[in-house]
Amino acid sequence: MNPLLVVLFLPLATAVFNRLFGARLGKGAAAGLACASVLVAFAFAADSVLGLAALPAASRQVLVHVYDLLDLASFRVGFDLLLDPLSGMMILVVTGIGFLIHLYAVGYMHEEDAGEYARFFAYVNFFVFSMLTLVLAANFLVIFTGWELVGVSSYLLIGFYRGKTSAADAGKKAFIVNRVGDFGFLMAIFLIWNAFGSLDFSAVLPHAAALSPGMATAVGLLLFMGAAGKSAQGPLHVWLPDAMEGPTPVSALIHAATMVTAGVFLVARCHAIFELSPLALGVVAWTGALTAFLAATVAMVQVDIKRVWAYSTVSQLGYMVLGVGVGAYTAGLFHLLTHAFFKALLFLAAGSVMHALHGELDMRRMGGLWRKMPLTCATMIVGAACLAGVPLTSGFFSKDEILLMALRGPHADFGLWLLGYLGAACTAFYSGRLIFSVFFGKPRDHHAYEHAHESPWVMGLPLVLLAVGSLAVGLLGLPGFLTHWQPFTDWLAPVFADLKAVPEASASRALVLGLMALYTGTVAVLGWIAWRLYTGEAAAHPADGEATSALHRLLWNKYFFDEAYGFVFVRALLGYSRWLWRWVDQGLVDGTVNGVAAAAQAAGDFLRGRVHNGRTRQYAAYLAAGACLLLGLALIYHR
């Protein structure tokens, strides 16, 4: 049996098992089973990827046919899996980081009762299965299936705390906003089928050049609509910050490390289509750059630490999208990889703080916590350093690469670089602001401070491992002028072999070094400002609703996206629906339908009462009449 099947179906099996019997097994067994299944899946994934690496670079593609989903003579779609360097990288991230987050959840969720506990692990395992289906897909139907399944698992987990209305609403919001994007994705799939008569990647992507330019643009834009929904790109980003209503490990796994990167993955997977349309690529790049910048500005004023990381995630996803949008797929994916480590770390560390303070998330009520929880503090500083792009951390290398490509890559534009640079400056500021407000300065809420405690080892261990990973993963993609050892680029090279060679040479060493110096200086200056502002006696946090300026008000209210949607879509839609209901539905449609139904019912009455009256003689007469009818017809038609 192919090890990929174990990778894929083991988490599904444990999910089903835990949902059915987990509550009766007890907490230890349910959690042990869930963690073990992801660990085993990781081992098999590693084995598969090593097997892949042993093949010659050009033939690193393994197709696994599980069974036929549809077989209609002219149209055949199988449940097919594709293992190539791109999906290989993704399954390692999903199962590897997924395992650490599972481990963390064992401690984080321990206050839930056994039933809820088993339900949580069942859903998380189901998510792992869904995400693996998405990344391993070998055709558009399977990837769409995975796409929808991760949406479902995300919905289930955001609304995990069923008693909270806000959690249920957030789940619904995530699902509905995602449906908007899914609509585009589905349309793209229809167009692809129409153009190619097949949904297999192997039949579509290598022959993408057969698409007319207009069609390539349409398919590209529709695909990106799906990607923007899943990867929370403006204006479809509004669901992600609310999604933090879910348990923190879920935020880390689904809404930071894996699911939300699916859009980036999709664009990278379908790059052959995007490359045909400069317009589609431009839309991708500008959406990414604007999202990266705007979300970073919002993150500067939020006071809920999970919300800060949520907007930060939106912003960082913007960078990845910017990367793939300027044709720097490898750079975008490298940022995906590094971000998966450090953002998972940041969320888990935030969860650790929250755990210590009994659910407190408002950074205005924290301060000086480093004495109480040194491990959480140290690991979170590592994560924040990566996020801010402190030199020599992984985030520094990956973000620099994207910005360099925005300035010098095949589809470069100075405006894109400028937005990205300003966003990076904001990032440095809000990272510093959060760290300094939470861990340094004087405690602002003494009662909470006194009761704070470091988290247990099952939560601490994943933090340490992720911190080490966050730093080490940068080594996989050092800048080209430092070393020729480029494992990440080389690994993905077969996937992007169809692209023209990236003109790395056009960026001189002086420019690269100059840019690095600029970033370093920016991070240092903004970090210093944050330190001055937020560690002092009177930290510069305004109270709720107390806006210091119009700009602050704008950012505090997140550019009024939710309000605008409420006004434009929700209210207008409700009005329109009411009109439809009153006039079109009740008047026109119901009138017609009820009229037809009344006629049919009258006919039914007639047949039941008059014609079918139970008299055998009459029945026999009908029979004879029928025979005569047939005879007459036969005489008419026999020629």
Partner 1 sequence: MNLALPLPEYGVLGLALVVLLYDLVVPERVSRRALGWVCALGFAGVLALLLRSDAPQVAPVPTAFGGMYVADGLALAFKTLIVAAAMLASLASLDYLEARGVRWQGEYYLLLTLVTFALMCLVSAGDLLTLYVALELNSIGFYALVAVLKGRSLTSSEAGLKYLILGALSSALLLYGISLLYGLSGTVSLAGLAAWAAGAARSPALVVALALVAAGLAFKMSLVPFHMWAPDVYQAAPTPVTAFLSVAGKTAALALLVRVLDAALGGFIGVWDKLLMVLMAATFVWANLGALKQRDAKRLMAYSSVAQAGYLAIGVAAGSALGLQAALFYALVYVFTNVAAFQVLQLVAESGGPELSGLRGLGRRSPGLALILAAAVLSLAGIPPFGGFFGKFYLFAAGVREGIVAGRSWLLALVGLAVVMSIVSLFYYLILVKQMYIEPADPEAPGTGGPVAVPLGARLVLGVCAAMILWTGLYPSPILAWIRQALF
Residues making contact with partner 1 (CB under 8 A) = 68, 71, 597, 600-601, 603-605, 607-608, 612, 614, 616, 618-620, 622-627, 629-631, 633-639
Cβ nearer to partner 1, comparing 540 with 597: 597
Residue 600 C-beta: closest distance to partner 1, Å? 6
> Do 308 and 383 form a contact (C-beta atoms < 8 A)?
no
Residue 628 C-beta: closest distance to partner 1, Å? 9
Cβ nearer to partner 1, comparing 510 with 635: 635
Cβ nearer to partner 1, comparing 203 with 623: 623
Query: How far apart are the C-alpha atoms of 439 and 442, rounded to whole Å?
Result: 9
Decide the pairing of beta strands 62-72 and 75-83.
antiparallel
Query: Pseudo-torsion of CA 410, 266, 86, 482, nearest 10°?
Result: 30
* 158 burial level (CB within 10 Å; 0-12, 13-18, 19+): buried
Query: How far apart are the C-alpha atoms of 480 and 494, rounded to whole Å?
Result: 19
Residue 208 C-beta: closest distance to partner 1, Å? 31
Residue 64 C-beta: closest distance to partner 1, Å? 20
Query: How far apart are the C-alpha atoms of 324 and 334, rounded to whole Å?
Result: 11
Query: How far apart are the C-alpha atoms of 223 and 372, rounded to whole Å?
Result: 48
| 3 state DSSP class of 64 | strand
Residue 590 C-beta: closest distance to partner 1, Å? 15
Beta bridge partners of 64: 81
Cβ nearer to partner 1, comparing 524 with 624: 624
Q: Which two tokens stand for residue 438?
A: 């939470």
Q: Quick one: which of 97, 120, 474 has its CA closest to 252?
A: 97
> Do 264 and 257 form a contact (C-beta atoms < 8 A)?
no
Residue 631 C-beta: closest distance to partner 1, Å? 4
Cβ nearer to partner 1, comparing 579 with 606: 606
Residue 70 C-beta: closest distance to partner 1, Å? 10
Residue 79 C-beta: closest distance to partner 1, Å? 12
Query: How far apart are the C-alpha atoms of 360 and 366, rounded to whole Å?
Result: 9
**Nearby residues of 174 by Cβ (< 8 Å), 6 or more positions away:** 151, 154, 155, 158, 239, 240, 242, 243
Cβ nearer to partner 1, comparing 546 with 590: 590
Residue 618 C-beta: closest distance to partner 1, Å? 8
What value, to the nearest 5°, has the Cα angle with vertex 84 and ends 129 and 319?
80
Query: How far apart are the C-alpha atoms of 69 and 145, rounded to whole Å?
Result: 11
> Do 512 and 479 form a contact (C-beta atoms < 8 A)?
yes
Cβ nearer to partner 1, comparing 207 with 612: 612
Cβ nearer to partner 1, comparing 164 with 608: 608
Query: How far apart are the C-alpha atoms of 113 and 191, rounded to whole Å?
Result: 48
Cβ nearer to partner 1, comparing 442 with 612: 612
Query: How far apart are the C-alpha atoms of 254 and 182, rounded to whole Å?
Result: 18
Q: Which residue has the tokens 């969720």?
A: 109
Residue 23 C-beta: closest distance to partner 1, Å? 21
In 419-479, where do the E strands start and end? none
Residue 592 C-beta: closest distance to partner 1, Å? 14
For 70, 280, 293, 322, the CA distances from 285, given in Å and listed in that order, are 36, 9, 12, 4
* 598 burial level (CB within 10 Å; 0-12, 13-18, 19+): exposed
Residue 209 C-beta: closest distance to partner 1, Å? 35
Query: How far apart are the C-alpha atoms of 298 and 302, rounded to whole Å?
Result: 7
Cβ nearer to partner 1, comparing 573 with 625: 625
Q: Cα 544 vs. chain centroid, distance in angstroms? A: 30
Cβ nearer to partner 1, comparing 588 with 623: 623
Residue 617 C-beta: closest distance to partner 1, Å? 9
Residue 352 C-beta: closest distance to partner 1, Å? 44
- Sign, Cα dihedral of 252, 258, 264, 268: positive
Cβ nearer to partner 1, comparing 65 with 371: 65
Cβ nearer to partner 1, comparing 583 with 619: 619
What value, to the nearest 5°, has the Cα angle with vertex 431 and ends 423 and 469?
100
Cβ nearer to partner 1, comparing 501 with 636: 636
Preceding amide of 542 cis, omega within 30: no
